[in-house]
Structure 1
């Protein structure tokens, strides 16, 4: 069939002959446990997934992949990573007709002459967002590729991500950032070359997942805590690959399994996430909600999950603390009185069995459970000195059988019964009623993207790689090197779903000492022009002082209170 339909097959005949004549050298890629300079460990969990790990030195590349075709006539020939035939060459079984894939000249779409269309062609992300949809009038051959289809999705996103990083490397390096005082002093000493000043903007805060991105979101969350108080509920929800919506979708894709459809999993998880946020924000499930923040993570387990912080108003706080057992439970429902709740708890909320008889459990480390199971019995709910709750965990006759083990209330994760039954997935609900728990909560939510350390064994190549690379000030290289991308994350990011969300407006205010405001300028821009421009362009802090001079009503508000009553206008700065 391929001989008859695919014009590229003859190229693979050459590849087959090449390996039959010279043999195939077996290489083994091993994930290793290592610890980064930040102290965070590259944890390796058990999962059945296809993932990509970004490697290499960006300084030694031109931003594209090194893809080589071995031709009998022309010899070794490089092709671009946006070559129309790239995916057809890489995955011939997914594209048996050898058709074109993404290229730079795909039109954005038909538009009227008077429309305000910004671009004439579509981006790579938009192309793959379109391709990873199920349409009844199109073939489903790629989706039947199993793990190869997962690899195709990871390949597509890693190409997009690498192109983004390369853009920032080649475009942002023309910008410089330095203190106004330093620029003025350099001009007074006779040095008018702006190339000698400042440092490069490497990876800005608008790049999703970057260090500045996570740091600014962390500071936003702290600003919410300063204004409202500490969060009241910490909620974690993990995807259930057997959700009814996913199973129903599989009926449209015969012979395709959920684990080999990470795009379906990502889309359904995002819908469920929007639904539970709506329950909390608008339907006031836990009470009147003042703010919500969440971060979507993947963490080498193959399924997306979300960490969510919820702030309530004063009345709801008091009601929650007085009725903790109503909203959070760690006990097994009675089988006769609540069959649905019992089945949901049994399916999704067990941690274990682990301990002395099951050292091979994934939660075991140094012969101890890292989550401290089994828990001790407790007749009532209390809070320890750090603000972490000790839930009511009574010794009762209700048990659950898992394998050969019989488990009681000591082995269950805190949950909310109604949310668990409604969403039919792992939903861990914790009450956080003490400010000392903030550091743990925010660190857990905003610890950044996944990294991996790998070793290539076999053959002539041997390489250790990971977070131990000394990238200096090169934030792009540090972000790129050892980046771990699973298929679910690749699909989630290609669709453009939020990995970070905060429901409460936060304005980031600048602060600096006199003459020490930061100025941004191009490396080839004359310093005289920079000084003249920045001299009369106030920062946010300077605009605050000018507002106080011109508006007596503003003098009764502090700097951080001004955004509640006045608007920062970027054009005139006042």
Structure 2
């Protein structure tokens, strides 16, 4: 990718008149919030950042490489075939990108399984979701059990044509022509494919030798090593098949944390998450050269602290998913990249849970009230028993104790400062210029959750800074917010604002100056008119709509026309929606002020 330059990134300049600027009508035009392109590169690893993304004077960052402490080898150059399939515009390339998860699963040496796989709830945008624990399995025997079809790595021990026929039967969307090309590519560049082919040849040779010498066949065992190349501190790329696996004939190999494959009579085996071969065996189309995954033995490039001198799971995957000025197979792999991110998050969370389980004493959580209450309320008699209880501390993100602590903090804020005055929803827009301009090739925003979340986080921080520091809606005494993810995968924040007494909204006039629920006049503000049409119209609900409940919209759209604002109508504010004849057309339907979601003109124009 060529070096990116842009004049879009502008310094943020605020003036003294920004106080209550979002409550001054009419709002005709506002300069939009734009952070430009990712053109700031980390001096240590080359990861790209936005101009205001926590930039340091020495252009070093902590998210990507911890200022040089984490150093991983770059992924190998993508094979020409794989690069063409990821970036080409013909039907074969489109087919591959559409069903890339199926192709990867059919060619993988190990499986990706979860307790619950969830179909994407949004038909227009693909989102990969799972429930429960993630498992990785591979076959422990070369030959499948009698009566069952070969799967996983067993397909690499049979004839190529027969293997691809089985793959097409197991994964119907796959085309055999594409599978033939991919299988040929992996046999040339992937060390795991080569070592499986080698074992196949060794088994055939030993069978012929036993038949010639008329003696029992000797057992051939393939062991996939947990070590990383020759030096665990340098993370060498596996350039040869014997660097990732070894073949033993006759005797059992040494007892180590290996993945072992026997000729027959072995069940499917689970792969440890900390085995460096888990990622390359599960995602051969992301790591065609067999680059190793995370293992707990990785050391920092230089040691700052004797207690924290190893690369953590979070640091490893943060380094891997950062965008750099080279072609990345990961970022171009669409749906498969989503699966990889979910797999990486589950692995990191499993390690955090394991740490909490092993360090209950150090975390000082044995005498918490929850344990006492659990024992007191345990059923008496019968076969019921308490068992061993592990408590997640409030420092564990997403735990019930942390959520309850946040809830108590929010209630304490409301008790001290009073009830909130504004409820604001800040939603991620996949068409933000910072997202669209930083997509490469045929990438879609739904396939780059890393980029979407980074842009959303920065914009949310600037939005809250506008509200609190620059007081565009008035002086803010306190605020609290929570971030959620929509069914289509986009984040949004619900923000509660408590204004200072002089800036509270106590009259209909003050409410009309802050919140609008009307279609703007196109002749006066065409930009605002288009934004309202694109983002603030609640389209007609159908039976498949998420807001459709018991035969009607649960948000009570369309609203009634109203000539003036009522501040307290059955506990809710009823905004002014005049019947002025302004309408917008979306699809085949026409909408008026009754279908407009309340908005602030200034904030809508800026963000």
Q: Would you say same fold, with TM above 0.5?
A: yes
Mark the CA change 1:118 to 1:49 in structure 2 (over 3 Å): closer, same or farther: farther
Q: Does residue 366 in structure 1 map to residue 575 in structure 2?
A: no
Partner of 1:416: 600
In structure 1, what is the Cα distance between the partners aligned to 2:345 and 2:425?
Answer: 26
- Aligned 1:22-171 pairs, distance under 5 A: 48-55=125-132, 65-72=135-142, 73=221, 74-75=261-262, 76-111=268-303, 115-116=304-305, 118-136=307-325, 138-171=326-359
Shift of 1:78: 4.0
SS of equivalent residue, structure 1 residue 350: coil
| Structure-1 residue corresponding to 2:490 | 303
- Residue 488 of structure 1 is matched in structure 2 by none
Q: Is the 8 A contact 1:177 1:201 kept in 2?
A: no
Aligned equivalents of 2:310 and 2:588: distance in 1?
59
Q: Which runs of 4+ in 1 moved over 6 A?
A: 1-5, 12-19, 27-30, 196-199
Task: Name the stretch that deviates more: 74-83 or 338-347.
Answer: 74-83
Gaps of 5+ in 1: 6-11, 33-42, 57-63, 183-195, 424-574
Deviation at 1:139, TM superposition (A): 3.4
The separation in 1 between residues aligned to 2:569 and 2:481, in whole angstroms, is 26
CA shift in 2, pair 1:51/1:14, >3 Å: closer
Q: 1:158 to 1:380 in 2, by over 3 A?
A: same
Contact 2:338 2:447 in 1 (8 A): yes
Aligned 1:476-555 pairs, distance under 5 A: none
Please state whether the residue corresponding to 1:334 is helix, strand or coil: coil
Q: CA separation in 1, counterparts of 2:544 and 2:294?
A: 45
User: Over alpha carbons, which structure has the higher Rg?
Assistant: 2
**1:292-371 pair list within 5 angstroms:** 292-318=479-505, 322-354=509-541, 358-371=542-555
Q: How many Å separate the matches in 2 of 1:30 and 1:80?
A: 21
Contact 2:108–2:283 (CA under 8 A) maintained in structure 1: no
Q: Measure, in 2, the Cα distance between the counterparts of 1:13 and 1:148.
A: 8
Query: In the alignment, which residue of structure 1 is the partner of 2:423?
Result: 234
Q: C-alpha displacement at 1:95, in angstroms?
A: 1.1
**Aligned-pair CA distance for 1:218:** 1.2
Q: Is the 8 A contact 2:508 2:565 kept in 1?
A: no
What is the root-mean-square deviation of aligned Cα atoms in Å?
3.6
Q: CA contact under 8 A between 1:82 and 1:103: conserved in structure 2? A: yes
Sort the Cα spacing of 1:298 and 1:104 in 2 relative to 1 into closer, same or farther, 3 A. Answer: same
Which range is displaced more, 198-207 or 398-407? Answer: 198-207
Q: 1-side partners of 2:104 and 2:131: how far apart? A: 30
**CA contact under 8 A between 1:395 and 1:409: conserved in structure 2?**
yes
CA gap of 1:17–1:131, structure 2 versus 1, over 3 A, is closer
Shift of 1:377: 1.0
Q: Extract unaligned runs of 5+ from structure 2.
A: 1-77, 83-102, 143-220, 222-260, 263-267, 373-384
Task: Report matched runs for 1:427-506 at 5 Å.
Answer: none
Give, in angstroms, the shift of residue 383 of structure 1.
Answer: 2.6
How many residue pairs match? The answer is 370
Q: Which residue of 2 aligns with 1:262?
A: 449
Q: 1:308 to 1:382 in 2, by over 3 A?
A: same
For residues 178-217 of structure 1, what are the structure 2 equivalents within 5 Å? 200=389, 202-217=391-406
1:259 CA displacement: 1.3
Asked if the contact 2:108/2:281 (under 8 Å) is kept, the reply is: no
TM-score, normalised with respect to structure 1: 0.59
1:377 to 549, 553, 561: 561
TM-score by length of 2: 0.56
Higher RCO (C-alpha 8 Å, min separation 6): 1
Cα contact 1:241–1:258 (8 A) shared by 2 = yes
Deviation of 1:67 (Å):
3.0
Alpha carbons of structure 1 residues 243 and 117: separation in structure 2 relative to 1, 3 Å: farther
**Structure 1 CA distance for aligned equivalents of residues 104 and 341 of structure 2:** 26
1:399–1:408: 8 Å Cα contact kept in structure 2? yes
CA distance in 1, matches of 2:545, 2:104: 46
Q: In structure 1, what is the equivalent of residue 579 of structure 2?
A: 395
CA distance in 2, matches of 1:149, 1:320: 51
